[in-house]
Amino acid sequence: MRAVFAASFTVSSAALIAAAAPALAHGHTDPAKGAVPLSADEMLAPYYAKLEKQIELPVAQPNVSLPRETTLTRVAFGSCNHQSRSQHMWAQIAAKNPDMFLFIGDNNYGDQFWKGDASLTTLRAAYAKMAQTPELGEFRSKVPMMVTWDDHDFGFNDGGANFAFRGWSETIFETFWGSSNEVRSRPGIYESVTFGEEGKRTQIIILDTRYFRSDFEAIPYSPERPPLGPYLPSNDTSKTLLGDEQWSWLSQELAKPADLRIVVSSIQVVTDAHNYESWEALPIERTKLYGMLAAREASGLVLLSGDRHAGGIYADTPSREITRTGEKFWELTSSSMNYSFSSTEQNTKREPDAKRITDLISEENFGTVEIDWDAKAFTMKLYGNKGEERASQSVKF
Ligand SMILES: [Fe+2]
């Protein structure tokens, strides 16, 4: 989500490289006449290889692991936690005794005050600050975590594949979170793990909505610009949200056996109610996602998202041309953990949405998915910063 700090951004030569990166990132520019065109990633690789030897990247506090045979009954998640603001939410989340916690993006705001340097000084400093956060350390000693990023901890507000320093940002992320060898072995940070025994298997699918993503179509500037965000849906078929590799990985993951699947997207999926970042900005890609989800090996399904500095429970039933089954998709959005901009009353009024079945909860919050394996039902819940319940919806699967 576009944050309020744009004015503090200083343009430097490196930022201009980032801005010019559409051509560079995909290798359309020939930097040395007669040579094979290099992508920005390729050009920067020797620099980063050297840098990695010279500096020590921050590493998160040790995290308890979660055995794969564990039957999950409560998965907590949250997003949008500024590293320099109050870290009170960790204790509230731990108090719900979740089996695990999904930290689903804008896990820090390392893009703020960035001066455009290729070493991503402010991003590294934000992670270093997290490594020194006792509340997070305490939480990680008790609750297993899985993570993905959104734009602010990717390092570039509303950024995607055209962020020229994305490879270095990935190295910083994977080093900090201690990513698996599988995640380290490929571009991007997407990941999937299945927990529990047959009949009670939960597959957690964590998407990377940043590394491969094409630029969204921005609304041209006008003084009357609508207040609900800068992006318009684009039907440009060359644009991608997940990128080819991640798309084919996802279809393989969805073919694996599972009883319930939790699919995490940092940005919102089903809503059409705003023009901030969401899957609505690339409708062709969203239709593809719905088709792929509907074609999954039979299982329950819930989508989780964050990013908005507000949360709510959403439901959408895409047309039968898209899903054949006419099934209803459920999405639980939770944001923010410590970075609230507005009140529920104001936001609910400002953003009417037929797909949202709750208020747009704008005070600090986190979410849980609770699974009742006997009743074959999951319950989506949002909790406030005193641990009080703010929203709840049960779904049979
Ligand atoms: Fe975001």
CA of 280 to the centre of ligand 1 (A): 15
DSSP letters along 126-182, please? HHHHHHT-HHHHHHHTTS-EEE---HHHHTSTT--TT-TTHHHHHHHHHHHHT--HH
| Interval 184-204 mean pLDDT | 98
CA of 261 to the centre of ligand 1 (A): 23
For residue 224, what pLDDT band results from cuts at 50, 70 and 90?
confident
CA of 106 to the centre of ligand 1 (A): 6
Q: Residues 45-64: pLDDT tens digits? A: 999 999 999 999 999 999 99
Distance CA 392, CA 385 (A): 16
For residue 378, what pLDDT band results from cuts at 50, 70 and 90?
very high
Cβ pair 189, 211 in contact under 8 A: yes
The DSSP bridge pattern shows strands 202-206 and 191-195 to be antiparallel
Cβ pair 277, 158 in contact under 8 A: yes
Write down the pLDDT at residue 32. 58
CATH topology (fold) of 60-113+122-396: Purple Acid Phosphatase; chain A, domain 2 (3.60.21)
Write down the pLDDT at residue 123. 98
Write down the pLDDT at residue 25. 47
Ramachandran bin of 97, using left for φ above 0, alpha for ψ from -120 to 50, beta for the remaining angles: left
CA of 55 to the centre of ligand 1 (A): 28
CA of 113 to the centre of ligand 1 (A): 16
3 state DSSP class of 359: coil
Residue ranges covered by each domain of the chain: 60-113+122-396
| Interval 338-344 mean pLDDT | 96
CA of 199 to the centre of ligand 1 (A): 35
CA of 85 to the centre of ligand 1 (A): 17
For residue 108, what pLDDT band results from cuts at 50, 70 and 90?
very high
CA of 82 to the centre of ligand 1 (A): 12
Cis status of the peptide bond prior to 185, with omega within 30 of 0: no
Distance CA 5, CA 122 (A): 14
Write down the pLDDT at residue 21. 46
CA of 157 to the centre of ligand 1 (A): 7
CA of 105 to the centre of ligand 1 (A): 7
Look over the chain and give the mean of its residue pLDDT values, rounded to a whole number: 92
Question: Positive or negative CA dihedral for 40, 41, 46, 49?
Answer: positive
Task: Decide if pLDDT at 30 tops 70.
Answer: no
CA of 152 to the centre of ligand 1 (A): 6
CA of 375 to the centre of ligand 1 (A): 35
Task: Decide if pLDDT at 225 tops 50.
Answer: yes
CA of 4 to the centre of ligand 1 (A): 12
Q: Residues 235-271: pLDDT tens digits? A: 999 999 999 999 999 999 999 999 999 999 999 999 9
CA of 205 to the centre of ligand 1 (A): 19
CA of 69 to the centre of ligand 1 (A): 33
CA of 139 to the centre of ligand 1 (A): 23
CA of 151 to the centre of ligand 1 (A): 5
Distance CA 4, CA 23 (A): 28
3 state DSSP class of 281: helix
DSSP letters along 53-115, please? HHSPPP-PPP-----TTPPPSEEEEE----TTS--THHHHHHTT--SEEEE-S-SS-TTTT--
Rg (CA), the chain: 20
CA of 79 to the centre of ligand 1 (A): 9
Q: Residues 344-370: pLDDT tens digits? A: 999 999 999 999 999 999 999 999 999
CA of 309 to the centre of ligand 1 (A): 9
For residue 223, what pLDDT band results from cuts at 50, 70 and 90?
confident
Could you tell me what percent of the chain has a pLDDT over 70?
91
Q: Which residue has the tokens 């980063």?
A: 48
Cβ pair 184, 174 in contact under 8 A: yes
Q: Among 390, 384, 305, 391, which Cα is nearest to 340's?
A: 384
CA of 320 to the centre of ligand 1 (A): 31
CA of 196 to the centre of ligand 1 (A): 31
114 vs 3 pLDDT, higher one: 114
